[in-house]
Amino acid sequence: MRAAVFLDRDGVINQNRSDYVKTWEEVSFLPDVFPALARLSSTPFCIVLVSNQSPIGRGILSCAEVEAINRRMVAEIERQGGRIDAVYYCPHRPDEGCDCRKPRPGMLLRAACELDLDLSGSYLVGDAVSDVEAALAAGCSPILVLTGRGTDQQPILRKRGYTWVPIVAGLAGAVQLILGPAGAEP
Protein backbone atom coordinates (compact mmCIF):
# COMPACT_ATOMS: atom_id res chain seq x y z
CA MET A 1 0.00 0.00 0.00
CA ARG A 2 1.14 3.51 -0.70
CA ALA A 3 -0.12 6.89 0.33
CA ALA A 4 -1.86 9.28 -2.04
CA VAL A 5 -2.18 12.97 -2.60
CA PHE A 6 -5.74 13.57 -3.72
CA LEU A 7 -6.23 16.83 -5.59
CA ASP A 8 -9.47 18.63 -6.28
CA ARG A 9 -9.46 19.82 -9.89
CA ASP A 10 -11.26 23.15 -10.29
CA GLY A 11 -9.75 25.74 -7.96
CA VAL A 12 -6.62 23.71 -7.19
CA ILE A 13 -5.22 22.74 -10.61
CA ASN A 14 -7.15 25.16 -12.81
CA GLN A 15 -9.23 28.32 -12.39
CA ASN A 16 -12.71 27.75 -11.00
CA ARG A 17 -15.50 29.07 -13.22
CA SER A 18 -18.94 30.01 -11.93
CA ASP A 19 -20.43 28.62 -15.15
CA TYR A 20 -18.29 25.44 -15.03
CA VAL A 21 -15.35 24.38 -17.18
CA LYS A 22 -17.16 23.14 -20.28
CA THR A 23 -14.41 22.97 -22.90
CA TRP A 24 -10.65 22.54 -23.09
CA GLU A 25 -10.41 26.18 -24.18
CA GLU A 26 -11.91 27.22 -20.83
CA VAL A 27 -9.19 25.41 -18.85
CA SER A 28 -6.78 27.91 -17.30
CA PHE A 29 -4.07 26.29 -15.18
CA LEU A 30 -3.25 28.13 -11.97
CA PRO A 31 0.23 29.65 -11.51
CA ASP A 32 2.93 27.32 -10.11
CA VAL A 33 0.79 24.20 -10.67
CA PHE A 34 3.22 22.58 -13.10
CA PRO A 35 6.36 22.91 -10.93
CA ALA A 36 4.39 21.76 -7.89
CA LEU A 37 3.10 18.68 -9.71
CA ALA A 38 6.56 17.95 -11.11
CA ARG A 39 7.98 18.02 -7.59
CA LEU A 40 5.19 15.83 -6.23
CA SER A 41 5.64 13.44 -9.16
CA SER A 42 9.20 12.70 -8.07
CA THR A 43 7.85 10.95 -4.96
CA PRO A 44 6.16 7.57 -4.49
CA PHE A 45 2.82 9.23 -3.69
CA CYS A 46 -0.07 8.17 -5.90
CA ILE A 47 -1.49 11.40 -7.35
CA VAL A 48 -5.25 11.27 -7.82
CA LEU A 49 -7.69 13.91 -9.06
CA VAL A 50 -11.07 13.83 -7.28
CA SER A 51 -13.64 16.25 -8.63
CA ASN A 52 -17.34 16.96 -8.22
CA GLN A 53 -18.67 17.43 -11.76
CA SER A 54 -22.35 18.28 -11.32
CA PRO A 55 -22.61 19.76 -14.85
CA ILE A 56 -23.04 16.15 -15.96
CA GLY A 57 -26.06 15.62 -13.70
CA ARG A 58 -27.41 19.03 -14.68
CA GLY A 59 -27.31 18.08 -18.38
CA ILE A 60 -24.71 20.74 -19.21
CA LEU A 61 -21.91 18.28 -20.07
CA SER A 62 -21.70 14.59 -20.86
CA CYS A 63 -19.36 12.14 -19.13
CA ALA A 64 -17.44 11.91 -22.40
CA GLU A 65 -16.92 15.69 -22.48
CA VAL A 66 -15.64 15.78 -18.88
CA GLU A 67 -13.37 12.81 -19.57
CA ALA A 68 -11.98 14.51 -22.69
CA ILE A 69 -11.14 17.64 -20.67
CA ASN A 70 -9.54 15.50 -17.96
CA ARG A 71 -7.46 13.56 -20.51
CA ARG A 72 -6.13 16.78 -22.03
CA MET A 73 -5.36 18.20 -18.58
CA VAL A 74 -3.45 15.04 -17.62
CA ALA A 75 -1.57 15.10 -20.94
CA GLU A 76 -0.56 18.74 -20.40
CA ILE A 77 0.53 18.02 -16.82
CA GLU A 78 2.67 15.14 -18.12
CA ARG A 79 4.10 17.35 -20.87
CA GLN A 80 5.13 19.81 -18.14
CA GLY A 81 6.94 17.11 -16.12
CA GLY A 82 4.19 16.03 -13.72
CA ARG A 83 1.87 13.07 -13.52
CA ILE A 84 -1.65 12.16 -12.49
CA ASP A 85 -2.07 8.47 -11.70
CA ALA A 86 -5.87 8.34 -11.67
CA VAL A 87 -8.91 10.56 -12.09
CA TYR A 88 -12.22 10.12 -10.28
CA TYR A 89 -15.23 12.37 -10.63
CA CYS A 90 -18.77 12.51 -9.28
CA PRO A 91 -21.33 13.21 -12.02
CA HIS A 92 -24.25 13.81 -9.65
CA ARG A 93 -26.11 16.97 -8.70
CA PRO A 94 -25.85 18.02 -5.03
CA ASP A 95 -29.48 17.04 -4.38
CA GLU A 96 -29.04 13.43 -5.53
CA GLY A 97 -27.58 12.22 -2.23
CA CYS A 98 -24.90 9.98 -3.74
CA ASP A 99 -21.93 8.63 -1.78
CA CYS A 100 -19.33 9.91 -4.23
CA ARG A 101 -20.00 13.65 -4.12
CA LYS A 102 -17.70 15.46 -1.72
CA PRO A 103 -18.08 16.01 1.25
CA ARG A 104 -18.86 12.30 1.24
CA PRO A 105 -15.77 10.12 0.91
CA GLY A 106 -16.95 7.77 -1.85
CA MET A 107 -14.41 8.80 -4.50
CA LEU A 108 -11.53 8.49 -2.04
CA LEU A 109 -12.72 5.13 -0.72
CA ARG A 110 -13.15 3.79 -4.25
CA ALA A 111 -9.67 4.99 -5.22
CA ALA A 112 -8.21 3.41 -2.07
CA CYS A 113 -9.80 0.07 -2.93
CA GLU A 114 -8.91 0.12 -6.63
CA LEU A 115 -5.38 1.52 -6.22
CA ASP A 116 -4.45 -0.17 -2.89
CA LEU A 117 -3.93 3.12 -1.06
CA ASP A 118 -3.19 3.83 2.60
CA LEU A 119 -5.68 6.57 3.40
CA SER A 120 -4.23 7.25 6.86
CA GLY A 121 -1.00 8.46 5.24
CA SER A 122 -2.76 10.35 2.46
CA TYR A 123 -3.69 13.99 1.89
CA LEU A 124 -6.51 15.78 0.12
CA VAL A 125 -5.74 19.25 -1.23
CA GLY A 126 -8.86 21.25 -1.95
CA ASP A 127 -10.36 24.72 -2.09
CA ALA A 128 -13.61 24.03 -0.22
CA VAL A 129 -14.94 22.85 3.12
CA SER A 130 -16.46 19.89 1.25
CA ASP A 131 -12.90 18.79 0.36
CA VAL A 132 -11.83 19.07 4.01
CA GLU A 133 -14.84 17.05 5.15
CA ALA A 134 -14.30 14.37 2.49
CA ALA A 135 -10.68 14.02 3.60
CA LEU A 136 -11.68 13.66 7.24
CA ALA A 137 -14.46 11.17 6.44
CA ALA A 138 -11.95 9.03 4.53
CA GLY A 139 -9.25 9.28 7.20
CA CYS A 140 -6.93 11.55 5.18
CA SER A 141 -5.21 14.78 6.16
CA PRO A 142 -6.88 17.85 4.60
CA ILE A 143 -5.12 20.94 3.26
CA LEU A 144 -7.08 24.00 2.12
CA VAL A 145 -5.67 26.19 -0.64
CA LEU A 146 -6.70 29.83 -0.99
CA THR A 147 -6.97 29.55 -4.77
CA GLY A 148 -10.38 28.89 -6.27
CA ARG A 149 -13.01 29.23 -3.55
CA GLY A 150 -10.53 28.81 -0.69
CA THR A 151 -10.50 32.42 0.48
CA ASP A 152 -14.31 32.50 0.64
CA GLN A 153 -14.40 29.10 2.37
CA GLN A 154 -12.01 30.08 5.18
CA PRO A 155 -14.70 31.61 7.46
CA ILE A 156 -16.94 28.55 6.97
CA LEU A 157 -14.00 26.32 7.87
CA ARG A 158 -13.50 28.26 11.11
CA LYS A 159 -17.22 28.29 11.92
CA ARG A 160 -17.33 24.50 11.63
CA GLY A 161 -14.41 24.19 14.05
CA TYR A 162 -11.72 23.13 11.59
CA THR A 163 -9.28 25.75 12.87
CA TRP A 164 -6.43 23.20 12.86
CA VAL A 165 -6.64 22.51 9.11
CA PRO A 166 -3.54 23.84 7.32
CA ILE A 167 -4.26 26.70 4.90
CA VAL A 168 -1.77 27.53 2.15
CA ALA A 169 -1.71 29.94 -0.78
CA GLY A 170 -1.89 27.30 -3.51
CA LEU A 171 -0.79 23.88 -4.68
CA ALA A 172 2.92 24.74 -4.39
CA GLY A 173 2.39 25.53 -0.71
CA ALA A 174 0.50 22.29 -0.19
CA VAL A 175 3.29 20.27 -1.81
CA GLN A 176 5.83 22.09 0.37
CA LEU A 177 3.77 21.24 3.45
CA ILE A 178 3.49 17.57 2.46
CA LEU A 179 7.09 17.03 1.37
CA GLY A 180 8.94 19.53 3.53
CA PRO A 181 11.78 21.73 2.38
CA ALA A 182 13.99 18.84 1.29
CA GLY A 183 11.27 16.99 -0.62
CA ALA A 184 11.13 14.16 1.90
CA GLU A 185 9.48 11.01 0.65
CA PRO A 186 6.52 9.39 2.40
Plot region of 123 (φ>0 → left; ψ -120 to 50 → alpha; else → beta): beta
| Cα(127)–Cα(146) distance, integer angstroms | 6
Residue among 10, 99, 118, 152 flagged as catalytic: 10
Question: Can 8 be counted among the known catalytic residues?
Answer: yes
Among residues 8, 19, 99, 131, the one annotated as catalytic is 8
85 is catalytic: no
Catalytic positions, written as ranges: 8, 10
